[in-house]
Amino acid sequence: MIVLDDLDKKALDHFRGFVVKKDLVGIIKGGANVPAFVLEYLLANTCSTEDEVKLQEGMENVKKILRDHYINPEESTLIQSKLREKGRYKIIDKISVELETQKDRYWANIANSNIKKANISDELVTNHEKLMLGGIWAIIEMEYDPMITIGSTVYPFVVRDIKPIQLSSFDNSKITDKRKEFTNEEWKTLLLRSAGYEPFSEGLDDRKLNLLLCRLIPLVEANFNMVELGPRSSGKSYIYKEITPYAILISGGQGSVPQLFVNNTTGRVGAVGLWDAICFDESTDKLFKDHDAIPMMKDYMESGSFSRAKGGEITGSASVILNGNINQPVETVLQNSHLFSPLSDEVNNDTAFLDRINLFLPGWEITKFSPKNFTNHFGFSTDFFSEVLKSQRKTTYYEAIDKYFTLGSHLKQRDSKSVRRIVSGFIKLLHPDGIYTKEDIRSYLILAMEMRRRVKEQLKRIGGMEFWDTNFSYIDKETQEENYVGLPEERGSHLIESNPLPPGVCYTSTSDGDTTSLVKIEVVVLKGSGKINITGTNNQEVKENIKNTYNYIRANEKSILDDQHSLTGYDLNIQVSNLMGSSISGGIGSAVYVAIISAIYKKNLKPALAVLGNISIGGAVERAQNFADRVTFLSENGAKTILVPMDNLTEITTLPQAILGKTDTPFYGNSQMLLQKAVLSE
């Protein structure tokens, strides 16, 4: 019994003949090692219906075609016998071609039929160049002719014709016209179902669905470079193996110069010129067969072209995907090394190679797939879906962000290019009609910055000072507000944010000698009449610190604030949060001072900043008690810079060497110096 939801009915209404119930593939496939796009090629026209009877008839028809013409490996002897008896027979199989230079002729190999050295014409090879690069699935018209001999050897099998299993023609206007009939969420769901996923299944939230969409970007963006590391069985290679005939999967260590780039003997261009995407599976093992392939791959990943030995530059449009398994928790990898370290030794410390990666997908966030994560609803048939993706490679939305946003100063040329291309990819996938909103772009921009920043952060860890600018931000052209984008894993177990702190937020620590606590100060400034509201604590000493700091600023407004800003025109809401520790005590005035001023002027503070010390009502900077305990506690919870009163200078020697090695401790002697060292320079 078919159970359809509203989206199924809408998909059938608008795309009948181009959608298929995705679980039919699994039902028919059984144990056959036939790609999904082969089955859906057969299913689309007969099973694009909600009519149970017609659906069953269509399935029976497909089963008959597969029974009669699809070759399972164990049937290879039988099919060879049938060919001999009938003389001519159509089969569904994977066909590849090799050139035997000694005889100056091509031979076809038919995979499941176990037919080696079948005769094939030069014309067929010329018309289907991918035969030379891993092969293609096709409906193959075979012939048996025992009269064909070379010397005393008989070569009776002949490939007479090939019909690749993909659409012969495609009109993108149908997608463009029909997109408006679907909401953003409906379209996103339809895309993910078309790729085989069920967005509403257990374990998949909006974050993971966006990560799954990232896997499709190399198929809509030409010359796009991506890395994904994650656990086994999370479907890293599934997209490139099952849902498109335009991608090729290369096993570890098999990438050679002739296969990837160009055969200098024949002049034939390799995989980069013939496929839309090249996925290196098992990239944690050896990547390339030839050492010469590495510099050529660097050139290609940078510019989409490479130079061949015998003159001339050759271009290609294939995207490059490096997939691999990561066997340790990401926190452990980050403690000991960097996130590129699981990759093959050929590239995992080659910053020039790694900097060419546009998108680093955190596959460790995608849980292992179980049957419930695969959809039983309607989605685009795989041959239609692959053509939809391919057609989008001709367009670009590289400049789309410029209408609404400006990229921050830390994004260098490669960063900007990567971010723009990721955003462009999301627009192509989710808005093929070119209609999108500012908030659509903002959400894609945040995700794009994260995916590229992950690359940059690892390059910084490897040791390149040239990659030190990792505080990625974007500026809203309408409000001029600057927003910083961080990485989930960089924060790790740290409670202190590793990104530039937003205006009004500052961290500190308190200690009474027995209990050390981590404290977050948050200040929100509203137009008002000079009121102050303190929440989050009933500790009178803490409240006294805050009031003294506030009164100091108010008494010295003319020297601290400019003419356009006065505390009498604002209401301040100050929240004190105890993030760790049983109780908090005093000595937080300096952090409160920094938070108030940054909130008033809307200035970001330095990344992972904490402030120790107190400011008296007269403006004197008071020494931090229990100095070593508090600095150590802040450092262990993620603080990279801890501003410390000058009176604590003599205690610097009491800090553990490990703390000094990973945390900067600048000293300040007055409130002006404190502010200068706390605010993020523009």
pLDDT in tens, 568-584: 889 999 999 888 877 88
Identify the pLDDT of residue 10: 95
Residue 39: inside a domain: no
Question: What is the pLDDT at residue 649?
Answer: 94
Whether 469 and 511 map to the same domain: the answer is no
When pLDDT is cut at 50, 70 and 90, the band that residue 42 belongs to is confident
pLDDT score for 90: 92
Short-list 357, 381, 446, 452, CA closest to 411: 452
Task: Name the domain boundary from 373, 406, 438.
Answer: 373
Q: How far is CA 40 from CA 126, 243, 383, 392, 676, in A?
A: 27, 9, 7, 21, 64
> Domain check: are 319 and 464 in the same one?
no
pLDDT of residue 660: 83
Q: How far is CA 641 from CA 42, 401, 508, 611, 634, in A?
A: 62, 33, 11, 8, 9
Would the pLDDT of 380 be above 90? Answer: yes
User: Which pLDDT value is given to residue 682?
Assistant: 63
pLDDT, average across residues 595-603: 94
Residues 6+ apart with CB under 8 A from 192: 198, 199, 209, 212, 213, 375
For residue range 515-550, what is the model confidence (pLDDT) as tens digits?
A: 888 999 999 999 999 999 998 888 999 999 999 999
How many residues in total does the chain contain? 682
Task: Report yes or no: 571 and 529 within 8 Å, Cβ to Cβ.
Answer: yes
Question: Does the structure show a pLDDT above 60 at 492?
Answer: no
Q: Is residue 26 situated within a structural domain? A: no
Looking at the structure, tell me whether residues 113 and 230 fall in a common domain: no
Position 551 pLDDT exceeds 90: yes
Per-residue pLDDT tens digits for 386-404:
989 999 998 999 999 999 9
Yes or no: say if 257 and 307 are a contact pair by the CB < 8 Å rule.
Answer: no
**Are 429 and 335 in the same domain?**
no
Give yes or no: residues 475 and 500 share one domain. no
Does position 182 have pLDDT exceeding 90, yes or no? Answer: yes
Residues 467 and 525 both lie in one domain: no
Last residue of a domain, one of 129, 164, 199: 164
Considering the domain architecture, whether residues 326 and 194 belong to the same structural domain is answered as yes
Cα-Cα-Cα-Cα torsion 87, 91, 95, 101, nearest 10 degrees, comes to 0
Q: Residue 29: its pLDDT value, please?
A: 67
Q: Look at residue 387 and tell me if it is in a domain.
A: no
CA distance 487 to 199: 24
pLDDT in tens, 236-263: 888 898 888 899 998 766 778 888 888 8
**Residues 169-173, mean pLDDT to the nearest whole number:** 75
Based on the domain organization, do 589 and 515 belong to the same domain?
Answer: yes
pLDDT score, position 434: 95
Q: How confident is the model at residue 621 (pLDDT cuts 50, 70, 90)?
A: very high
Supply the pLDDT for residue 343.
92
> Tokens 């944690």 belong to which residue?
284
By mean pLDDT, which of 16-20, 36-40, 201-205, 440-444 is the weakest? Answer: 36-40
Q: Based on the domain organization, do 546 and 658 belong to the same domain?
A: yes
Say yes or no: 425 and 568 in one domain. no
- Determine the pLDDT at residue 533: 93
57, part of any domain: no
Predicted local distance difference test score (pLDDT) of residue 45: 64
Is residue 279 domain-resident?
Answer: yes
- Would 636 be classed as within a structural domain? yes
Residue 657 CB contacts under 8 Å (≥ 6 apart), including other chains: none
List, for residues 111-155, the tens digit of each pLDDT value: 999 999 999 999 999 888 778 877 888 899 999 999 999 989 999
CATH, residue 336: 3.40.50.300
Q: What is the model's pLDDT at position 368?
A: 84
For residue 70, pLDDT beyond 80: yes
**Could you tell me the pLDDT band of residue 264, with boundaries at 50, 70 and 90?**
confident
Residue whose tokens read 């960063």:
415
How does pLDDT run across 285-342, given as a tens digit for each residue?
888 888 888 888 999 999 998 876 665 788 889 999 999 998 888 878 876 788 999 9
Residue 463, pLDDT > 80, answer: no
- Mean of per-residue pLDDT scores for the chain: 89
**Residue 647 pLDDT more than 90?**
yes
Domain of 599, CATH number, reads 3.30.230.10
Give the residue-averaged pLDDT of 590-615.
95
Is 669 within the bounds of a domain? yes
Q: With 60 as the cut, is the pLDDT of residue 345 above it?
A: yes
Same domain, 482 and 524: no
Pair (309, 333) in one structural domain:
yes
Identity of the amino acid at 471 = N
Number of domains in the chain: 4
- Range 21-41 average pLDDT: 74
Domain residues for the domain of 149 are 73-164
Of 409 and 509, more confident: 509
Percent of the chain exceeding pLDDT 90 equals 55
To the question of pTM greater than 0.75 for the whole model, the response is no
| Mean pLDDT, rounded, for 475-488 | 87
Q: Could you tell me if residue 586 is inside a domain?
A: yes
Percent share of the chain, pLDDT over 70 = 95
DSSP string, 287-303: -BSSTTHHHHHHHHHHH
Predicted pLDDT at 483: 83
The pLDDT of residue 464 is 64
The pLDDT, as a whole number, for residue 117 is 95
Question: Are residues 270 and 133 in contact, defined by beta-carbon separation less than 8 angstroms?
Answer: yes
Question: Using 50, 70 and 90 to split pLDDT, how confident is the model at 593?
Answer: very high
pLDDT value, residue 626: 92
Instruction: Please determine, for residue 32, whether its predicted confidence score (pLDDT) is greater than 70.
Output: no
β-strand pairing of 153-154 with 149-150: antiparallel
pLDDT tens for 266-299 read 778 888 888 999 999 888 888 888 888 888 899 9
Single out the residue in 164, 189, 204 at which a domain terminates. 164
